[in-house]
Structures are given as structure tokens and as C-alpha cells.
A and B are shown apart, each in its own frame.
Chain A
């Protein structure tokens, strides 16, 4: 019995319960027209439907996880399974193949050892399908009957249904906490495994990065796991080059849009900026690699830098800066709008020109908000992946030359996890350690920025 079919069964049963219960409630109403029902018939219907559908759906999920194990156990206890190799890859392959043939997803067996197991598999799958369907029917029937027998004219079905709805809402909002917790726990867990193999000091302060996924996993060379060049590359591209582009351009865009542009222009320019924010990062990455990187390389050669490479920190940083412009602009926009109009009016009334007002009054007043916006922008750009993957290069250089290839934390996460290394290898696990560092840094930046914004808003309210 496939999980989809079981869920369909749950839905069907639920619908039947819904209809039956509604009919029952209507019959109460007809039997005693002057006696008001405690709840509307539709709540009776939902009460029964929930009692039928929820246990069945839970069973479907549990059975989906459990049934393959049960089938496997029963096949292994079959005498024809005695010839299987004791453990390892071959055993898994034979079992998987026999199962695929039995379920019809594979046409025939390639492995001779699997042939004898096809029949036991087929039998076991059939048996557990029957058992699963039987249990599902029983659960649906028992739960439905029990709920149905509860229905009475003065039964407060509404309260119970609403309580159920409320718990669904609560569970939905807990998903956010669970996700945060899931990220934290999985990152910490894998990072701890990594730090069991490589000393955290070597990792955080080492200056040479070059993990070898093919080396022996048991004795990693700690000198190859120095992440300092990655941190430097990340900061140099995301927080320095990108911000040199994004802060002036974003800020001036916001100033022009809010203070100078007339309504007609704003109507067109603002959406154009928003489009810039909506372009997928992979498109920016391709743009950086295909168009900007060769230009940057030519520029590097023109000003006499011999080793200007086709992948450079400058190309990635420039495009990333352009990507961040709308973000900085909208944050600055909000901060400028939060400055009380009276301050602006006062300055203008004293005879200051608009730009003097902006530079001497508005910008200083909005500075905390703008700084917070820049921090959020940095947290976004250091977590940006595709642009650096496509344009920044793989070489871990600890250099200040923007024409050189440079690598970042996000690049190495991708490189380590999409390579050939096994999941237990320190090179693979190092990706989680890098992810953990990235997570903590962005978290801290966001936390501080939101604090600053909050305090800043309160100051003018």
C-alpha cells in the first residue's frame, strides 16, 4: 500500500465521516425543531471528520516508515536469504534489486543472488499491504464510530473543533522554532565531529586551506584546514568590495528617490530597483563570470598587473555590490522616512539648501538606521553563494590584490559538499564547520542590526 493511497483512504474516510455526521446533526434538528443544537451541524461534521482523518493520516505516516523494515525482516527470515553475503555493499545491492523487481520498478534481475529473493519479497510486500490496509480500515472504523456515538443535540462539537484548529495554528508557528533548532543542532553536531578530527585553533587561525577529500580520513593533516584565507576572502569580497559599490550608490539612490525625484519618475525608478533585487543570484553569477570578469581582467592587464586572473575577487565583489544596491537603498529609504518632518522643515526654514539639509540633518539623524541596514546588507552578501561560486575562483589566497582569484566560505561549503568525498571525511565535515561560523556571524549581525533599528525607531516616536 503506497503512502499516497493510504492518505487517500484517510481523506475518503474523513469525507464519509463528515457527511454522515452532518446528516446525523440535521436529523437531531428535524427531530426536535424547537430545541436548538449546541453547535451547528457543520461542526459535528468536522468533529467526526477530524477523528477519522487525523489518526488515519498519522498511521499512514508511521506505516510508511515502518513497512519496509517489516518486509525486510520477513524476507531475511526466509530460508532463501541464507545465501546472502553477511554485510556490505553487495548485500544491499542484491536486496534492493530483488525489491525493485518484486515491486515492478525494475524489469528483471541482473544479479543471480537476487533471483531467489524476488518471490519472498513479493509475498512479504503483499502480506504487509493486506495487514496495513486492514489496520487502517480498523482504525478509521473504530475512531469514526467512537466519534459518531458522541454526537448528541447538546454536544458542544464547536468547542472541540476550535480547540483542534487552535492547536494546528500553534503547531504551525512552532515550525519556525523547530527549524532554527534543527539548523543549530545539525550544524553543532557535525561541527563537533569535525573538531574531533581537526583542532578548532588550527581551523580558525590556520593560514593554509587545501583539504584533500581523497586522503585517509583517520589522520587529517591539520595544516590543510586553516580557514583564515576563506574568512578574509569572504570579508574582502562581501564586506569591502561589495559595500564600496553598494553603500554610496544605494544611499544616493535612496536620497534621490525620497528627496528629489518627482512622483512620475519615482513611479518608474523604484520598480526598476526592485527588479534588480529580484534577479536570481545564479543569473548575477553568470553575468559576473561571462561579462564582468573578462572586463576586470583586461583592466588588470591594462594597469600592469601581470597575474590578473579570469576569476577575480573584484568581478564577484562588483556584481555582488550591484545586487545589494536595492537592499541598501530600501533600508536607507525607511530610515530617512522615519526622521520627523519637523527636522527637515526646520533646516529648510533656516535657509539651508536641500543637500545641506540632507547631509547635515537627515543623514546624521538617520545614521543608526542606515548603519543597521548596512549590517544587514553585509550579512546578506557574505552569505551569498552563487556569485562567488561562479566568479570568484577556488584558490584560497590571503592577499589584498582584488585582481587575484579568491575563495569564500560559501564557495568552499559548496565545493566540499558537491565533491566526491565520503560523508565522514573531515573535508566534508569542514563544510558544516564553515556553515556554523557563517550562521553565527549572520545571526550576530542581524541581532545587532535589529536592536539598533528598534532603538532608533523608538527615539523618534
Chain B
């Protein structure tokens, strides 16, 4: 009996060890790659949140106002707020606010009261005329210069004042609910995102109203009815290409075609929505076709066997079953459109719009463009505001994507 050669020689062992080590290294590299991506994502989110929390606040000055000292009265019979505020302005409310500020903080600090401060007082009084009978303390916005001095940069001249007021507890950061209801302004203390948000909502409505029906109809046609010929191939090729065309090219199209057709509608949500609809439509078609393809043929055969016409088969049976999948794709496409900036820059939605748009043809801007515009501002106060706007945008996207995932899990059937 001769001994069989040992299967595990020393050289083999060494080699095996090396191979296993390589295996571990490789696996670690893979894990590292994916953890790197996750870490970047977390870093991005954390940076935005840290910066953005400040954007939901603004520096305010605490000012007690004694209304009894000057005898301002609320005229009877004025029911709407602007008229009430005008009446208060005529009776010298701005002077009273300024005077109170001088009394409370000194002349220098009163000069650093934000330009809209008296309006806040007027609004509060217009809402509650009983305030006029006594004293009330208001937290009024500081000027942009004082606010940046308070946060540690900006003009050196104002730094001591900011320190003094902060030490006395008269200057502090307080939550600014108005950020969600105001519109763009030149002073970071006065800006808000409602104007841009409303522009985004109007634009998205136009996009949805155009892209959804066209996308779904095109998907139905291509998947259910289209004959196999050169035309159908051409349609498919163009849809696949459109899905990959850079978004800025759609902006050029909107500029050259839509704005040439409707020259007076520059910056209008209608044009923006139409441009984004062309961009979103291919996404809806592609996801719609996949959803329609997933409906088993037996459904069609069954309906057909009971005498349904081809149109009835599709509209009564296939479409309702494919709808959750189509909606998921639509929401994802809309989320992409909501975050889109470049094409809207092309068609002029970067105008400074200080009032929220009233309709589809008014000049407007959208949330991502607003973020872009603010990021270009030199004033340091805009850094925090920009991050806060980004948080709002990301929150919207998160809700939309969450909805898409919910729809997919809740309604999508596995056949």
C-alpha cells in the first residue's frame, strides 16, 4: 500500500491562505464602496439639516409696545385686513414701533430693526384690536446686517451691538413660521418659500395634466394595439431616446418652440409645466408599458371570450389592473420633474418674483430654481435659508417617493 500523495501541501496551504485573504479584501472593498455611498448621503443630509435648522429661524428683537401712549384706534366697520393695516399706518403705527424700539434698545439698535417690522405689529393688531388697549411685547425681525453680525460674521461695526443685545436677551433666534408663507425678497431676514412652492405646485399640475394622459395612452397603444411596423419602431426609438436626452435640451426646446408660440408667457408655470411634461412623458410611458406587460394575457383572453371589444378589454380590465404600477411610475417621474432646475432656467423661470403667482400664466419661479437663486446670493444669511429650502424640497420628494413605494407594496399584484 503506497501512501497517497498528501492533498494539502505546504505550498497549497500558503496559496489557500492568500486566496482567502484576497477574498476577504474583495468583500471588504465591496462593503466599503457601498458604505461610502451611504456615508456621503448621510453627510449631505446632515450638512443640509445642520445649516437648514438655522434657516427656519431668524434673529428677532424683543420690543415692548405701549399702544395706550399715543391713542391709536381701530376704525369701526373695516373688515378686511389690508384696509385695517392701512388705517393703522395712517395713524402713525410705524412711528410708534420705531419709538418703542428706541426706548427699549437705544437709537443704534432701533435703526437695525427690519423694514417690515411695523407690518408685523400692524398684522397682529388687525387680527386682535384688543391689543390697542394695553401693552404688548413683540418679537420683530432684526435687519439683515444685525442678523449676520449676530451669527458671527458680517460687518465688524455691528458686532458689539449684537453682542450687547444678545447678552441682554433682547436679540435672539426664534422660530420663523413666516418662512413657509412669504415669498422671495432681497433681505434674507424677509424671504420665504411660499411663492416658489406655489409656482412648483402650479407647474406640477400642468405637467401631470399633460404627461399622465399622454403617457398612459401612448403606453396602452404601444403595448396593446400597435402593429409591428416601422412607425411603431420609430415611436419606440424616440421614446427611449427622449428618456435619455439631457434635461437642459428640453429647456432649449421650450425656449425655441413654446416661448416662440407664446412670447408673453415667459416665466409662466404653464410653459414650465409643458416643458417638464415632455420630459416626464417618456418616464411614464416606459413604466406604464412594464405595468401593462405584467397583466397576464389570461385576463385579456377571458374578457375577449365574453365578447368584449378590444377597447373594452383594455379600458375595463387591463388598465385598472395596471394602474397601480402606472401610478408608481408617474409619481417617480413627477418627483424627478419637481427637482428639475436646468430646463426651467432656460425658459426664464428665474425671475425675481416677490408675490406668489396667482395663476398658470403669471410669472413664477419654482422651488429648485429658488434654491439655485439663493445659493448665488452673497449675503451669508442666505446660506441657511437655502439649506432650509432644500430641506423642504427633500421633504416633498420623500413624501412622493414614500407614496410610490406604498402604492407599489399595497396594490401591486404578483400574478
Contacts and interface: CB of A to CB of B under 8 A. Distances in A.
A353 B19 CA distance: 8
Contacts of A385: 246-248, 341-342
Contacts of B256: 186-187, 189-190, 432
Given A256-B30, A290-B383, A417-B346, A283 B390 contact: yes
A257 B34 contact: yes
A279 B214 contact: no
Contact of B245 (A248, A250, A356, A442): A442
B281 A170 contact: no
A435 B38 contact: no
A186 B260 CA distance: 11
A281 B36 contact: no
A172 interface: yes
A383 B37 contact: no
Contact of B47 (A279, A287, A322): A287
Interface string A379-408: 110111110011000000000000000000
A282 interface: yes
Contacts of A386: 341-342, 368, 372
B7 to A, nearest CB: 12
Contacts of A366: none
A298 interface: no
Interface string A265-281: 00001001101101111
Contacts of B234: 177
Contacts of B336: 278
Interface stretch (A82-90, A133-141, A160-168): A160-168
A383 B375 contact: no
A176 interface: yes
Nearest to A174: B235
Interface centre among A175, A385, A431 (most CB of B within 10 A): A175
Interface in B171-185: none
A354 to B, nearest CB: 6
| Interface size class, chain A | 35 or more
Given A176-B239, A438-B246, A439-B245, A276 B41 contact: yes
Contacts of B240: 446, 450
A180 B345 CA distance: 21
Contacts of A389: 342, 372
B11 interface: no
B66 to A, nearest CB: 39
A286 B37 contact: no
Contacts of A418: 345-346, 350
A69 to B, nearest CB: 13
Interface in A99-130: none
A91 B246 CA distance: 40
B311 interface: yes
A248 B33 contact: yes
Contacts of A174: 235
A414 B238 contact: no
B69 interface: no
Contact of A177 (B22, B235, B315): B235
B20 A353 contact: yes
B116 interface: no
Contacts, number: 242
B231 to A, nearest CB: 9
A255 to B, nearest CB: 5
Contacts of B406: none
A269 B34 contact: yes
B393 interface: yes
B375 A289 contact: yes
A10 to B, nearest CB: 16
Q: Say whether chain A's binding surface is mostly helix, strand, loop, or mixed.
A: helix
B242 interface: yes
Interface stretch (B125-133, B145-153, B218-226): B218-226
Contact of B282 (A162, A176, A252): A176
Interface in B328-355: 335-336, 338-342, 345-346, 350
Nearest to A413: B248
B38 A269 contact: yes
B27 interface: yes
A52 interface: no
Interface string B240-266: 111011111110110111000000000
A384 B340 CA distance: 11
B401 interface: yes
A285 B41 contact: no
Contact of B339 (A158, A275, A280, A417): A280
Contacts of B252: 183, 186-187, 413, 417, 431-432, 435
A173 interface: yes
Contact of A383 (B31, B246, B340): B246
A206 to B, nearest CB: 22
B217 interface: yes
A355 interface: yes
A435 B285 contact: no
B371 A249 contact: no
B13 interface: no
B87 interface: no
B411 interface: no
Contacts of B29: 252
B94 to A, nearest CB: 25
A252 B30 contact: yes
A283 B33 contact: no
Contacts of A284: 44
Given A183-B253, A353-B20, A438-B246, A278 B371 contact: no
Contacts of B108: none
8 contacts: A169-B220, A186-B256, A253-B30, A383-B247, A384-B246, A414-B346, A439-B246, A442-B244
Interface of B: 19-20, 22-23, 26-27, 29-34, 36-38, 40-41, 43-44, 47-48, 51, 213-215, 217-218, 220-222, 225-226, 234-235, 238-242, 244-250, 252-253, 255-257, 278, 281-282, 285, 309-311, 315, 335-336, 338-342, 345-346, 350, 368-369, 371-372, 375, 383, 386-387, 390, 393-394, 397, 401
The 3 closest A-B pairs by CB, nearest first: A383-B246, A280-B339, A256-B30
Given A169-B221, A286-B375, A379-B246, 4 more contacts: A260-B27, A275-B41, A284-B44, A383-B245
